Structure 1
Amino acid sequence: MEQIYQAMLAPSEALVNDIARIEGDIILLGVGGKMGPAMARLAKAAVNKAGINKRIIGISRFSETGLEAELNGLGIETVAANLLNDAELQNLPTAKNVIYLAGQKFGTTGKESYTWAMNTYLPGRVAEKYRDARIVAFSTGNVYPLSPVKNGGMTEENPAAPLGEYAQSCLGRERMFQYFSSLYGTPLCIYRLNYANDVSYGVLLEIAKAVNEQREIDLRMGHVNVIWQGDANEIAIRALLHCSTPAKLLNVSGPETVPVRWLAAEFGKRLNKQPILVNEEQPDALLSNSAECFRLFGYPHVTLRQMIDLIAEWVVAGGKTLNKPTHFQEREGNF
């Protein structure tokens, strides 16, 4: 299982070719989050495979013990900094390419002001600091409203209509980056993701664990989009070649509109457990149409069934997981 997992994290030839075309070094702001460490490792592996000289620099508070040393051991440079501390932000190194991963979601309720500071104020400061770089700014499909399942998800042409303060602050993040992109001519890609999955976190893991632990699965948010974290990370790096002014909007998700009921049944087969399903599917859900992403980068390399198989095996084996739930069932925008 570990060999299969590692193979699914390796850089593709397309990434190796593209990273050789990306001029300059790459900074990952907020590298210590769910996706950042794997993205840094993937970028460094692609640089090594391409045989080029390109610095990968990860910036974070590095609250997770051992992460900074691990990245350093792979040849990834790191800087420990609190991005909300403006003196520390201004002292950060510069580069021609920035992937912005910082953000706040969980615990928004009761800490709304901090969420807005992280998701809206900070992006403006970062956009000014890195005005001369290309920027891929992570956002979320939560900026869209719920849409009818039969429509196949919202496209980049659909207007944003975020539900709740978390999603509103994420649209604020986009608007700050767009404003400074327009002001300074900064090439920008707004990367609207939902939902990345790994063996350690994600919608698929949450459903698998609920089936395995015989907990109820709420079907009201009855359909989801999912994509393998490695594919999402690869797209983020390659998107540096597609930054533009005005900003490029890019939905990033899997190609399927996946029924939660079907996912629960598939995990039930693999785990030999009967899923406990409650409530009924509603006619709308938080869904994105990523046809433009597939046009630019091709379809994801890791299929839905591969993800299901691997995550089921991971749950059975008691593999390490993160306590970072997606709250994909949330229909009122409260996080």
Structure 2
Amino acid sequence: MSLPHRFNDVSQLEDCLSSPSEALVNDLGRVPGDLMILGVGGKMGPTLARMAKRAAPNRHVIGVARFSEPGLRTQLEEQGVDCVSGDLLDPETLDRLPAAPNIIFMAGRKFGSTGSEWLTWAMNSHLPALVAQRFSESRLVVFSTACVYPFTQTHGAGTPESGALEPVGEYANSCVARERLFQYFSHQHQTPGRLLRLSYAIDMRYGVLHDVANKVLQHQAIDLAMGYANIIWQGDANERALRALAHCDTPTSPLNLSGPRVSIREAAIGLGERLGIEPRFTGTEADSALLIDCTQADRLFGPPQVGLDRLLDWTADWVRRGGASLDKPTHYEARDGKY
């Protein structure tokens, strides 16, 4: 797919985010059967579901969520996605779901965790146990997070999948529980799978660059304490997640999912140049950050299609024109694990 110079509206943006490559079509051809996405109603779920349907138009793609966002279910159904409404923590919802051979697990809770940790643990540890047992004979590709790792030195390559899990904060600890429970049941039932440790997908409506660009535009100081982050275009992240169905291990194994390390200072300067505004900064870069090594994913899928310069161009143009925002800050700058 040829990439646009800019996005005129949300419709064009979502079309690009859900455009499948030939490599995805080929990989999905290796994993026959229906595909079900649990937690399809989140930030990435709708475009991932649409990408799956476009890559395999003759296959049933099923999206499961509470569908609290008005119009989302209708939109997905118009795009060919079969929708099931329900609360995944309700055993009756899980019982009535079809036994699809391919599962993408996207359900989870991060923001708002502080103050209602009990719900975060239920979503991130209890639900995975239920799902792993209910779909023990399916391929299970599970969205996790790079927050399961400790901070690492900023001058290094980032933490590889073999790195120790030493998370900061309750949210991140609950995500380790999610992984361990999927691993346990994968060992018990020989369920093939992958645990995708995602770090900061980029959409024009949210993400690290969206957060930084808005601060530049509003002349707000940008905190440099978390001076670096891995980012990846959401279209690339969607594709890698779906292609992972053809690259599952038995028992399941982790896979870091992101793009190259980005300097927050340099990204802000680049956005400022495009916006005609000099960024303001506060603090200095710490010598550690939450960074991951994505060599293994690059070896499987090739490098991400969209690079930093294009993301900076798109983001600056979008925020300058007052493009839509999901109003969901990433809190990438948090060093205490509280979200």
Band the TM-score falls in, shorter-chain normalisation: over 0.9
SS in 2 for 1:114: helix
What is the one-letter code of the residue matched to 1:276?
Answer: R
Q: How far apart are the structure 1 equivalents of 2:135 and 2:71?
A: 28
Cα-to-partner distance string for 1:25-51 (whole Å, 9 max, x where unaligned): 100000000000010011111113xxx
Q: How does 1:128-277 map to 2 (within 5 A)?
A: 128-254=133-259, 256-277=260-281
Assess, with a 3 A threshold, how the Cα gap between structure 1 residues 267 and 99 changes in structure 2: closer, same or farther.
same
* Number of the residue aligned with 2:288: 284
Q: How far apart are the structure 1 equivalents of 2:314 and 2:336?
A: 31
SS in 2 for 1:250: strand
What is the one-letter code of the residue matched to 2:251?
Answer: P
Contact 2:28–2:245 (CA under 8 A) maintained in structure 1: no
Q: For 2:54, which of 38, 45, 49 is the aligned residue?
A: 45
Q: How does 1:276-315 map to 2 (within 5 A)?
A: 276-315=280-319
What is the one-letter code of the residue matched to 1:237?
Answer: L
Contact 2:271–2:316 (CA under 8 A) maintained in structure 1: yes
Q: Are positions 1:323 and 2:327 aligned together?
A: yes
1:2, CA displacement in angstroms? Answer: 2.9
Q: Are positions 1:113 and 2:143 aligned together?
A: no
Q: How far apart are the structure 2 equivalents of 1:197 and 1:211?
A: 17
Q: How far apart are the structure 2 equivalents of 1:248 and 1:241?
A: 13
Q: How far apart are the structure 1 equivalents of 2:264 and 2:258?
A: 16
What is the one-letter code of the residue matched to 1:131?
Answer: S
Q: How far apart are the structure 1 equivalents of 2:205 and 2:54?
A: 21
Cα-to-partner distance string for 1:278-301 (whole Å, 9 max, x where unaligned): 000000000000000000000011
Q: How far apart are the structure 2 equivalents of 1:43 and 1:68?
A: 16
* Number of the residue aligned with 2:105: 100
What is the one-letter code of the residue matched to 2:182?
Answer: F
Contact 1:252–1:293 (CA under 8 A) maintained in structure 2: yes
Contact 1:137–1:188 (CA under 8 A) maintained in structure 2: yes
| Further displaced range: 301-310 or 117-126 | 301-310
Q: For 2:43, which of 29, 34, 40 is the aligned residue?
A: 34
Q: How far apart are the structure 2 equivalents of 1:73 and 1:171?
A: 36
Q: How far apart are the structure 2 equivalents of 1:132 and 1:318?
A: 46
Where in structure 2 are there 5+ consecutive unaligned residues? Answer: 1-5
1:305, CA displacement in angstroms? Answer: 1.0
SS in 2 for 1:161: coil
* Number of the residue aligned with 1:73: 78
Where in structure 1 are there 5+ consecutive unaligned residues? Answer: none
1:246, CA displacement in angstroms? Answer: 2.2
